[in-house]
Amino acid sequence: MKRHHPSLISLFTGAGGLDLGLEQAGFQTLLANEIGPHACETLRQNQVLNSLKPTEFDAWFALQMGQRCYKGTNEVLSEELRSRIRSSLVDRSYLRGAKIVERDIRALSASEILELSGSRKGDVDLIAGGPPCQPFSRAGKREAVKTDTGKLFKDFVRLVDEVRPRWFLFENVKGLTLTKAPLARIHCRVCRETNLVKFEDWELLQVEAEKSVPCYRCGAQNASVSWENKSGGSLDIILQEFANLGYKCVHTILNAADFGAPQLRERLFIVGSRDGELFEWPSPTHGKSHGPSQATLFDLNDLQPWRGVREALWLNGHWKYGALKKEAVLWVKNVVRPHDEPVTWHLDRPSPTIGAHQGAKLTIAPIGVPEAQLFRQQWHSLGRRQGDTPPVFVEHEYLTDLELLKLQTFPENWYLFGTRMERAFQIGNAVPPILARVVGAAILAAMGRVRELSEVQTKAV
Ligand SMILES: C[S@@+](CC[C@H](N)C(=O)[O-])C[C@H]1O[C@@H](n2cnc3c(N)ncnc32)[C@H](O)[C@@H]1O
C-alpha cells in the first residue's frame, strides 16, 4: 500500500508519549499495542477527539466526567480540563487511523500486526516501543532480565524479527546500562570462537547449569561456559539479541532537558537498521546553565540554557495565585528518599525525572518545606522512618494534569483517562514527545526522508 508518511508500529504504547513525538517528526502510526485498559482508553478517546465537532463536545465531556474515575474531580480541575481540550479541537490529528490493540503483547502475532495495519513483511518503516522498565530501573528491585516482566523485551525482539521493519527504536531506562546481570559466554575448543550465550540458552542455563550449549559457529558440542556478573549485562544481552537478527544497532543515553524539556530525564535508546544504514544521534539544543559569569559558554556551544519549571509551567513565571517567592520549591510530598537525594527542587531549574509512581505526589510548596519535614523524608542510610517524628505542616498544592503534561512536553490538549493516580502514572511512564521527536527526526534523516536533521530539530524546540 502506498503511504504518504513513513509507517510506525508502536509497542508498549502507554499514553503515547513516544508515538506523539514520532508522529510530530513525520511518522504515521498504523497500530499501537498496549495491555493497560486505562492507557488504551486514553489513546482511543484522543482519536475520538480528532473528529469531534465543537457542537458535540459538551456531550462528550459530560460522558467523560460521568465516568467513575472522574467522580469527585473538583470544579476548578474539571474546568481546566474542559477548556484546554475544547479550545483546540481543530487541528488535532493524533494516531489518526491507528488500530489500538488492547492485548498482552505475548498474545500478539506478527501476522495479526501485518493484517491489521495493512502491511506486508518488510514494508513497515519503524517499530518503536519501551517495554516496562521496573526490572531495570535503578529504583526497582534490580532483577534484570531474570523476571517475567524483564523478559518482555523478547516479544519486542520477536516482532521485529517477524515483521522485519526497516528500522526499530527501543527505549528504556538508563538503569539498563548500570544494573548487574550474569553474562554467560561460550568458548569453543574447536574453532576457538567466544560468543555471548543467546537468551534462550541463557534461560536454560539458569535452570540447568550443567546443560551443554553447542558452539554457535561450528556446532561443536564441547564448548565451555563461563559466567561474569557484569554492570550493564542486561543491555549486552538485549543488544546481542538484536544483533542476532542481523540489525545494525547503536545505543546512547539522551537527556530530555538537553532537547528543550523542562525536566532532567535520561533515557536509553537503541536504534537498529535492518539494511545496515548509517544513523547519527541528534545533537543537544540546550545545556546546563553555568551562571551569568560563564554565559559565553552558550555562545561558544550554540546551546540554549536548560528550561526551568517556573518558565515552562506558568505564563511569565506567575503561578495561578500570582508571583512565587524565592522560597517556593517543587516538593515530592512524603516520598522518602535516601539522605543524599533531594525531595525539593528549585523552580528555576528543570524538574527531576517524573517517575510513574511519584508524579501524583509532586507539589508546589509556595513558602518552602521546613527542615523538620526534609529530615522526615530522608532516612534510608540514617535508619530513620517517617513515622518516627511528628508530622509537619507544609503548605502545598499538587501539580495538575496540565502541569505534569507540560513538564513532559505533551500537547496541552492531550486527554488522559483514569483516576488521578492512573493519569499521573501514564504521564510519568512516558517518553517526553520532544525527545521522541528529535530521535524520530534522526531516523528519518538516516532514511533520507528529511533533508536536514538540524531543520527538524530547530522546529522541535
Ligand atoms: C514504559 S511504559 C511505555 C510508555 C510509552 N512509551 C510512552 O511514551 O507513553 C510501558 C507500557 O507497557 C505496557 N505493558 C506492560 N506489560 C505489557 C504486556 N505484557 N503487553 C503489552 N503492553 C504491556 C504497560 O502497561 C505500559 O503502559
Q: How confident is the model at residue 338 (pLDDT cuts 50, 70, 90)?
A: confident
**The predicted structure's pLDDT at residue 139:** 47
**Which of 317, 300, 309, 270 shows the shortest CA–CA distance to 407?**
309
Ligand 1: which residue has its CA nearest to atom 26?
14
Cell of 6: 513513513
Do 308 and 349 contact (CB within 8 A), yes or no?
Answer: yes
Q: Rounded mean pLDDT of 157-172?
A: 98
C-alpha gyration radius of the chain = 24
- Residue 145 scores a pLDDT above 80: no
- Residue 140 scores a pLDDT above 50: no
Q: CB within 8 A of 242, min separation 6: which ones?
A: 157, 160, 168, 170, 249, 270, 272
**The predicted structure's pLDDT at residue 11:** 98
CA of 312 to the centre of ligand 1 (A): 27
CA distances from 418 to 3, 33, 327, 361, 409 (A): 34, 18, 33, 16, 20
Q: How confident is the model at residue 455 (pLDDT cuts 50, 70, 90)?
A: low
Give the start-to-end residue ranges of the domains of the chain: 7-52+89-176+249-279+412-460, 180-230, 309-349+355-407
**The predicted structure's pLDDT at residue 293:** 46
Ligand 1 neighbours, Cβ below 6 Å, are 12-18, 33-36, 39, 104-106, 130, 132-133, 152, 429-431
CA of 132 to the centre of ligand 1 (A): 6
pLDDT tens for each residue of 426-441? 999 999 999 999 999 9
Q: What is the DSSP letter of 150?
A: G
Write out the H or E segment, with its range, that includes residue 221. Answer: none
**The predicted structure's pLDDT at residue 457:** 54
pLDDT tens for each residue of 43-85? 999 999 999 999 999 999 999 999 999 988 999 899 999 999 9
Which residue has better confidence, 388 or 165? 165
Q: How confident is the model at residue 461 (pLDDT cuts 50, 70, 90)?
A: very low
Q: What is the DSSP letter of 155?
A: H
Separation of alpha carbons 176 and 94, rounded Å: 30
Separation of alpha carbons 435 and 441, rounded Å: 10
CA of 423 to the centre of ligand 1 (A): 14
Q: Rounded mean pLDDT of 367-386?
A: 81
* Site to substitute for ligand 1 among 19, 34, 172, most atoms within 8 A of C-beta: 34
CA of 11 to the centre of ligand 1 (A): 7
Give the ligand 1 atom nearest the CA of 21.
8
- Residue 281 scores a pLDDT above 70: yes
pTM over 0.85: yes
- Residue 298 scores a pLDDT above 60: no
Do 24 and 440 contact (CB within 8 A), yes or no?
Answer: yes
Positive or negative CA dihedral for 260, 448, 8, 3? positive
Q: CB within 8 A of 29, min separation 6: which ones?
A: 8, 9, 10, 19, 22, 23, 95, 98
Which residue has better confidence, 299 or 443? 443
CATH of 7-52+89-176+249-279+412-460, one of 3.40.630.30, 3.90.1170.50, 1.10.760.10, 3.40.50.150: 3.40.50.150
Ligand 1: which residue has its CA nearest to atom 19?
104
- Residue 23 scores a pLDDT above 90: yes
> What residues pair up with 250 in beta bridges, in sequence order?
271
- Residue 244 scores a pLDDT above 50: yes
**The predicted structure's pLDDT at residue 91:** 78
Give the ligand 1 atom nearest the CA of 12.
12
Residue 90 CB neighbour total at 10 angstroms: 7
- Residue 138 scores a pLDDT above 70: no
Do 14 and 134 contact (CB within 8 A), yes or no?
Answer: no
